[in-house]
Amino acid sequence: MKSDDLLVESSSLKQSEQLLSITKFGDIPITVNAHVSLNYIKRVMSSDEFWMVSDTEFVSELEAQKVIAARRITLKRDGQFIPIVMSY
Query: Does residue 2 lie within any of the structural domains?
Result: no
Residue range 8-31, pLDDT digits in tens? 888 888 888 898 899 998 898 888
Count structural domains, the chain. 1
Query: Does residue 4 lie within any of the structural domains?
Result: no
Q: What pLDDT sits at residue 1? A: 56
Nearest Cα neighbor of 59 from 86, 33, 84 is 86
Q: What pLDDT sits at residue 87? A: 53
Domain that holds residue 50: 13-87
Alpha helices in the chain (DSSP H): 13-20, 55-61
CA dihedral 26, 28, 33, 38 (to 10 degrees): -70
AA letter at 44:
V
DSSP state of 84: E
Phi, psi of 87 (to 5 degrees): -120, 160
